[in-house]
Chains A and B, each alone.
Chain A
Amino acid sequence: MSTLHSQTGFALQLTDVTKSFGEISVMKGVNLAIKAGERHAVIGPNGAGKSTLFNLISGMFPVTSGDIALNGRSIVGLPPYQINRSGLARSFQITNIFPRLSVFENLRIGVLARHNVRFGLFQPVSRMRRINDEARAILAEVGLDARAADMAGDLTYSEQRALEIGMTLTTGADVILLDEPTAGMSREETAQAVELIRSVTEGKTLLMVEHDMSVVFSLCDRVSVLVYGNILATDTPKAISENREVQEAYLGEETAS
């Protein structure tokens, strides 16, 4: 899988992507190229279309025009499950887990998909050692070992966010999309989450929506600013924070409020 992005060098490439809901155009020709192995943030004011962008990339909504390529191959028009199988996994802004399954089961579902035992009907899942081991490894990675048997719905908010990140890892995707992974967390929790994201995305490509500039600074190699359906600029966090145009459009507004 990971050798495929050699042709372009880009893990994810959006070309002139537009999206309209009826009369309203929310993406006005987005161009974005994410290098393989980089950690990339999308920032922008509320309503800029960040979540829509994620929904377009992950196949939740169809694009109106333009192309999205994953590891050099177009994924436009594919349903979400095929995009996932092509190596892209995402998390959701609003926690999106299986509340009445155990934490362990939440993770195992994805691991099963990765190993192509999606419709396995002839062997008890408890005997599939490799799968259980892998799920347990991810469980440890996101620090939820102690809660393996608890119902996911009973976890605290930040534990659920960690589980959510763990779930994006289970299918073995090498491009990870995280939608506001630290939203609603305390400063301490945020710091933990940043470390978690850093360690689990090691060697993978990360694209994240983030509001917290300190998270962006400490985690990301490059930042793109999305304002009302347009990419205003893409650069290193430092350069972005010094970009006047960006300051006017976004950061200024943020600091003023």
Chain B
Amino acid sequence: MASMRNLILMAAVLAVLLIVPPFLGLGWQNALVNILIASLFALAFNLLSGQAGLLSFGHAAYFGMGAFATLHLMLAVEDGLGFPTPLLPLAGALAGLVVGLVAGYFSTMRSGVYFALVTLAFAELFHSLTPHLQGLFGGESGISSMRMPWQGIIFGSVLEVYYLTLGWVMLSILVLWAYTRTPFGRLTLAIRDNEQRVRFLGYNAHTAKMVIFAISAMFTGVAGALQAISNETANYALFGSQISAQVVLQTFVGGATIFFGPVVGAVSFTLFAYLVSDLTRSWLFYQGLIFVLVMLYAPAGIGGVVQHHMRSLRRADWTGLAKPYALAALGALLVGSAVIYLTETVAVLFGEEYSVNLRNAAGAYPGYHLFGLSWSPVSPLTWLVPLVLAGVGAVLLFKVRGTIAAKWEAMGRPETESTKAPDAAKLKGGAA
């Protein structure tokens, strides 16, 4: 039943992704390309970090390698190599696989914290080395190429790139999903749970981890390739810690214990960045804040919260919950606005523009504009607003928290795995 519902849901999503984009503007088409790439990146990353429990902080390395390999192939196509443009991501896959095998060999010699540190170091190694390699990575400025037409398809418009990306991302997601059903997919989960026991059941855990690493890197390479095809350029910044950090954030905010959790995170963050990054310089700050809040209060991520509610869909006392949930939302909104208000105020008051104004004003504190209103930094009202917002919101949240917890407590535990078929129950562990 549940799988039938999921299937219909997925078909609907796919239909929307196929039909709607031609009616969208260029900006949205581009944003969708980025969302698709981020989703694939996060899923590939989660194969390693969520399913195998090996936390990587350097996945930018394989993303970047995929992008550069693809650009080199594109350059060769420009020079007359007869390689079909739609198959370009294969270069990224191959590069990711090969580099992933080597890096995976080293990093999987250790587990846990060591593993995380070694992956980080690998990415930094590439980041520090590649600007000095003119031939392969184009030095600091990177390399560029152009998409060549193939079989009458010009690949000139964003829409064509979008459909190419969509095809590859859907194919990859399908393969990654099928992976979880294979014996090796199950072994991946067993390694996450108890690596030592796996060894005493006749498995070479190091080789297994290396292969998982390489497969994750391979699909990450495909994501990088799609990015290269879309941008037609790449430079060493692709190996930067920002890229590695983004995918960690997206995956764990979305929920690493659920197959589509990372997609939830990737879609929401990329969408948010597209909508908000023009409005504020503090976007990365908010991102970090959201991430830490999720880690503190919803360890299984957004996906985990959604799953928890879906499981209790029929039993939960929704009418009883509606009011406290609404109050909680209001409280969160108030506290959220206070935080945004303060952050943006700080951004203005400590910004360069204001410091110039301050110098010109000779001792006085000039006013400033924010959210379409004028404010004065010396007026008590300016500071009373966030104080009141945060205060009221915090009180609301504090009060309603107990009520919600009590209501859930009264409903008992959500359906456990025991009510499901053995094969459906695998991927959905508890909290990470």
**Cβ-defined contact, A105 with B199, below 8 A:** no
Interface pick from B200-208, B310-318, B376-384, B388-396: B200-208
Which residues from 137 to 155 on chain A have a C-beta closer than 8 Å to any C-beta of chain B? 147-151, 154
**Cβ-defined contact, B182 with A81, below 8 A:** no
Q: How far is the CA of A80 from the CA of B186 in the complex (A)?
A: 20
A101-B189, A149-B422 known; A120 vs B183 contact (CB < 8 Å): yes
5 contacts between A and B (CB under 8 A): A92-B197, A98-B197, A113-B202, A124-B178, A149-B418
**Cβ-defined contact, A100 with B182, below 8 A:** no
0 or 1 for each of B49-70: is its CB under 8 Å from A? (1 = yes): 0000000000000000000000
- Name the B residues within 8 Å of A125 (CB-CB): 181-183, 185-186
Closest to A164 in B: B197
**Cβ-defined contact, B193 with A98, below 8 A:** yes
- Name the B residues within 8 Å of A167 (CB-CB): 197, 201
Q: How far is the CA of A137 from the CA of B381 in the complex (A)?
A: 74
Which residues from 386 to 432 on chain B have a C-beta closer than 8 Å to any C-beta of chain A? 416-418, 420-423, 425-426, 429-430
Counting CB contacts under 8 A, is B146 at the interface? no
Q: How far is the CA of A192 from the CA of B208 in the complex (A)?
A: 37
Please tell me which one of the listed residues B204, B418, B425, B426 contacts residue A79 in the complex, with CB atoms under 8 A apart: B204
Counting CB contacts under 8 A, is B342 at the interface? no
> Main secondary structure on chain B at its contact with chain A?
helix
Count, A-B residue pairs, CB within 8 A: 127
A112-B187, A120-B183, A149-B422 known; A84 vs B202 contact (CB < 8 Å): yes
Counting CB contacts under 8 A, is B283 at the interface? no
- Name the A residues within 8 Å of B186 (CB-CB): 101, 105, 108-109, 112, 125
- Name the A residues within 8 Å of B211 (CB-CB): 119
- Name the B residues within 8 Å of A90 (CB-CB): 200
Counting CB contacts under 8 A, is A126 at the interface? yes
Which residues from 64 to 113 on chain A have a C-beta closer than 8 Å to any C-beta of chain B? 79-81, 84-85, 89-90, 92, 96-102, 104-105, 108-110, 112-113
Q: How far is the CB of B171 from chain A (nearest CB, A)?
A: 16
Q: How many chain B residues touch the partner (CB < 8 A)? A: 37
Counting CB contacts under 8 A, is A244 at the interface? no
**Cβ-defined contact, B422 with A102, below 8 A:** yes
**Cβ-defined contact, B422 with A101, below 8 A:** no
**Cβ-defined contact, B208 with A118, below 8 A:** yes
Counting CB contacts under 8 A, is A123 at the interface? yes
Which residues from 162 to 210 on chain B have a C-beta closer than 8 Å to any C-beta of chain A? 178-179, 181-187, 189-190, 192-194, 196-205, 208
Which residues from 111 to 146 on chain B have a C-beta closer than 8 Å to any C-beta of chain A? none
Counting CB contacts under 8 A, is A171 at the interface? yes
Q: How far is the CA of A76 from the CA of B72 in the complex (A)?
A: 49
**Cβ-defined contact, B429 with A149, below 8 A:** no
Closest to A89 in B: B200
**Cβ-defined contact, A118 with B417, below 8 A:** no
Q: How far is the CA of A98 from the CA of B185 in the complex (A)?
A: 14
Closest to A125 in B: B183
Residue among B183, B190, B416 with the highest chain A CB neighbour number at 10 A = B183
Inter-chain pairs besides A105-B426, A121-B184, A150-B416, 13 sampled, C-beta below 8 Å: A80-B200, A81-B202, A81-B203, A96-B197, A98-B194, A102-B426, A105-B186, A109-B186, A109-B201, A126-B181, A149-B421, A167-B197, A171-B202
**Cβ-defined contact, B422 with A105, below 8 A:** yes
**Cβ-defined contact, B182 with A121, below 8 A:** yes
**Cβ-defined contact, B183 with A112, below 8 A:** yes
- Name the B residues within 8 Å of A149 (CB-CB): 417-418, 420-422, 425
Residue among A92, A105, A108 with the highest chain B CB neighbour number at 10 A = A105
Please tell me which one of the listed residues B179, B181, B199 contacts residue A81 in the complex, with CB atoms under 8 A apart: B199
- Name the A residues within 8 Å of B204 (CB-CB): 79, 81, 118
- Name the A residues within 8 Å of B202 (CB-CB): 81, 84-85, 110, 113-114, 118, 171
**Cβ-defined contact, B184 with A120, below 8 A:** yes
Q: How far is the CB of B311 from chain A (nearest CB, A)?
A: 14
- Name the B residues within 8 Å of A154 (CB-CB): 416, 418
Q: How far is the CA of A113 from the CA of B200 in the complex (A)?
A: 10
Pick the 5 closest A-B CB pairs, nearest first: A120-B183, A113-B202, A98-B193, A100-B429, A84-B202
- Name the A residues within 8 Å of B416 (CB-CB): 150-151, 154
- Name the B residues within 8 Å of A100 (CB-CB): 189, 192-193, 429-430
Q: How far is the CB of A134 from chain B (nearest CB, A)?
A: 13
Counting CB contacts under 8 A, is A239 at the interface? no
Which residues from 152 to 181 on chain A have a C-beta closer than 8 Å to any C-beta of chain B? 154, 167, 170-171
- Name the A residues within 8 Å of B201 (CB-CB): 81, 84, 89, 109-110, 113, 167, 170-171
**Cβ-defined contact, B203 with A118, below 8 A:** yes
- Name the A residues within 8 Å of B197 (CB-CB): 92, 96-98, 167
**Cβ-defined contact, B183 with A118, below 8 A:** yes
